[in-house]
Structure 1
Amino acid sequence: MYAFFFLFCACSKGKKEAPKTDPPLQKEVTVKTMTYNIYGARSGGIPDLQAIADVIKRVDPELVALQEVDKFTTRNANNGDIAKELARLTNMDYFFAKAIDTYGGEYGDAVLSKLPVKEKKAYNLEVDPALGGERRSVARILVEKEGKPFYFISTHFDHLGDERNRIRQAQDFVALVKTFDKPVIVGADFNALPASNTIELLRGHFSLGCLNGDCKQFTFSTAAPNRTIDYLIYAPLNAFTTKLYSVYDWANRESDHFPVQATFTVR
């Protein structure tokens, strides 16, 4: 019996347990985005686009939402395709969505992308017929970052003092995005303050990219900054988290809006 007990103990001590290992850490996937109202790039035409391109290259985003984008209008010195030219100057892909015809050409929103673009699609946002005003555009692309697909959008809401058009556009925009089958990041000039009814409507579906949802830094105007009207937002809540959010007030001559940049973790 003693021999058996000794043998059992010896065998037990000789058996080694497999070392415990932590599960592999999942690689964090991030995307650097930017939104920029470029004031139609109309101060001096195509030659001045280099200054706007230099701002974009200095920020070095992977995705850019552009507002107030002209295409073959007479108010640009060389009557050019602004989105296409900016894409060439920044070495990015692009997509333009028309809102209205103006100055003999077109006017709307655009996106630039360093990521491969899998799909391009345009929509429009209408105004309240009783109020009138400009219809607006939505430029949407489908991209993918390290196996994680999502939509990136540029849009620009109405600018009139009466908020009725922006409220309608916010409602229609939320309804539109609810039909999408993938997460979305939006860069926009909403022409709306953080405490406005327009932003409140958007917050019912989107999360503001500003850290802690607190959009305090002014984005307009570059001459006399006094309000926040440009944003990067996303949906749904669990699709992204904000790592960095900045308003670049050093870019104070190229447009009447400051560029806004956000880096998101893609979940």
Structure 2
Amino acid sequence: MLTINVGTYNIAAGKLPDTQAINRLLRLNKLAVVGLQEVDQFTARNHYSMTSAIAEDTYHHFFTKAIDLERGTYGIALLSDQNIITPKYAAYHAYGLERQVWQKITYSLTTSLKIAIYNTHLSFENIQLRKQQVAELLMVLKNDPNPYKIILSDFNMDQNHDEWEPFKFSYILANGVQQWFETFNDRDENMNSYEIDNIILSKNLKLLNATEQPQILSDHNLLTAKICLNEFGLKNPSNTD
């Protein structure tokens, strides 16, 4: 059975995380691809490439800038155990205080079977802004000719589970299939829901399991998923409400 282990992790660069410990955590979970959010590159607070430091010699990496910050840059990154060829990225037309972006790589599960893997970080300000970004993202996904897709993200959907509805027609939510994981581990009076990180997959893929890894390395927990092809009429479980 062809499988891939993936993860999504908001590393909270502002909290000056231990990049070596993060690398050990990713290796411990045997992740082939990881989407990182809130990543600094050569800022005053983290005056080095966090992407390179976390990747070490374990992963190839691809950083995309969202904004300039403290004489450096800040954004998102994808790590892959394969060479990264022809990566893509774009900014959302709708955004709040911070410009937000998405990025994409293609992962070869076999020589003939490739998966489009996206990483993104949506705005925290309000539901309406996130709705606009989700609409943009869904259009990008629809226009992607690759039928196999995985989306890794801190979606910031912190008000209610209804925010996830636009994905449920064509995609499966790893966070919310069998249970909801509270992946944001701080507490905020403006948040009604802490299940804000997710791994979303097209329905021709099958979710074997989803887990979170509670840590003190960030204000988020690492969310992981083991995924395989949805062959022989196998069905994914319905998402819970």
Q: Please indicate the TM-score interval, normalised by the length of the shorter structure.
A: 0.7 to 0.9
- Give yes or no for contact 1:193–1:199 (8 Å, CA) kept in 2: no
- Structure possessing the higher relative contact order (Cα contacts under 8 Å, 6 or more residues apart): 2
Aligned length: 225
Computed over aligned residues only, the root mean square deviation of the Cα atoms, in angstroms, reads 2.2
For residues 219 and 93 of structure 2, the distance between their equivalents in structure 1, rounded to whole angstroms, comes to: 25
Q: Residue 156 of structure 1 is aligned with which of 102, 116, 121?
A: 121
Greater than 4 Å deviation, 4+ residue runs: none
Instruction: Give the 3 Å change call, closer, same or farther, for CA 135–196 of structure 1 in structure 2.
Output: farther
Aligned partner of 1:71 among 22, 35, 41: 41
> Which blocks of at least 5 consecutive residues in structure 1 are unaligned?
1-27
Q: Indicate the residue corresponding to 2:75 in structure 1.
A: 108
Partner residue, 2:233: none
Larger helix percent: 1
* 2:85 aligned counterpart, secondary structure: strand
CA distance, structure 2, for counterparts of residue 257 and residue 43 of structure 1: 11
Paired residue for 1:29? 2
Structure 1 residues 210, 121: CA separation in 2 closer, same or farther (over 3 Å shift)? Answer: same
Which residues of 2 match residues 117-156 of structure 1 at below 5 A?
117-127=84-94, 132-147=96-111, 148-156=113-121
TM-score by length of 2: 0.85
Matches within 5 A, 1:90-101: 91-101=58-68
Gaps of 5+ in 2: 231-241
TM-score, scaled relative to structure 1: 0.78
Structure 1 residue matching 2:209: 3-state secondary structure: strand
Shift of 1:159: 0.9
Q: Map of 1:154-193 to 2, 5 A cutoff?
A: 154-160=119-125, 162-182=126-146, 183-193=148-158
Q: Which residue of 2 aligns with 1:80?
A: 48
1:70 Cα shift?
1.0
State the identity %.
26
Q: Does 2:180 match 1:208?
A: no
SS at match of 2:9: strand
Decide whether the 8 Å contact of 1:243 with 1:265 is kept in 2: yes
